[in-house]
Amino acid sequence: MSLTPPDSAAGAVPAPRSVPDLVPGQAPHHLGHVDVWIFDLDNTLYPASCNLFVQVEALIGAFIQDFLKIDAAEAKRLQKEYYRAHGTTLKGLMDHHGVEPAKFLDFVHAIDVTPVPPSPALDAALARLPGRKLIFTNGSVAHAENVMNRLGVAHHFEGVFDIVAAEYRPKPDPETYHALLRRHAIDPRGATLFEDLPQNLVPAHALGMTTILVRTDAEWAQAGADGEHIHHVTDDLVAWLEANTPPAR
């Protein structure tokens, strides 16, 4: 008589954990493979309706006026022109006028962050997310810390990859995504990026990251919002995290 249980045939080997299909353009069915959660800051981690950009833009205008001794209308024109041509106004000011970036960043981010409501719900949702968490922003570390402290979520993040770390090459410059991955030793296939700007998800998708568009009402944030490079779309970051957080491993 055999002592071997009847189900010990080859077929009884435990099935491997299912691995999501990471073919570009196809969303994984679940996020169980994700161990690094990367978040844009502005208009992603807090609602775009807080309108912090109105304050930042006014300060950028004031900086340009003062630095170049020009009037408000000309400053506004340059601000827009450099943003379009260089990805950030700062890069245009550095390249054309030798502006010292630290001075600019300190000046334009000296804003009132009280329009951002503290978010115990986001704090709880981040606490349940298993894995590392990072901020990836075209702003500065100081600005990110201001906003994260106001939200009450700073303690979740192991780091902020800001425009200084990016050597002033703003998203969506692909080189900046590579620099982020190198700096924080991230395998993009196990990472997500949450973003309110569809174009900033293009390089993330090309690298094999899972992409989540946090949609806003802003007209300028709609171009490409239905692109194949976007795996998931939500109007509400906290609700999406609550619904999609994989179980802790």
Contacting residues toward Mg ion, per CB under 5 A: 40, 42-44, 196
For Mg ion, give the closer residue by CB, 44 or 119. 44
Dist. CA 232–CA 61, nearest whole Å: 35
For Mg ion, give the closer residue by CB, 42 or 162. 42
Dist. CA 235–CA 196, nearest whole Å: 10
For Mg ion, give the closer residue by CB, 93 or 197. 197
Query: CA torsion angle for 103, 113, 241, 176 (degrees, to 10)?
Result: -10
* Cα 84-38-95 angle, rounded to 5 deg: 30
Residue type present at position 1: M
For Mg ion, give the closer residue by CB, 188 or 198. 198
Q: Shortest distance, CB of residue 227 to Mg ion, whole angstroms?
A: 17
For Mg ion, give the closer residue by CB, 43 or 211. 43
Residues linked to residue 133 through DSSP beta bridges, in sequence order: 37
Check residue 144 and give left, alpha or beta (phi > 0: left; psi -120 to 50: alpha): alpha
Q: Shortest distance, CB of residue 202 to Mg ion, whole angstroms?
A: 14
Q: Shortest distance, CB of residue 183 to Mg ion, whole angstroms?
A: 20
Whole-angstrom CA distances from 19 to 31, 33, 73, 98, 130 are: 10, 7, 55, 50, 17
Q: Shortest distance, CB of residue 70 to Mg ion, whole angstroms?
A: 28
Q: Shortest distance, CB of residue 7 to Mg ion, whole angstroms?
A: 53
Under DSSP, the state recorded for 247 is: P
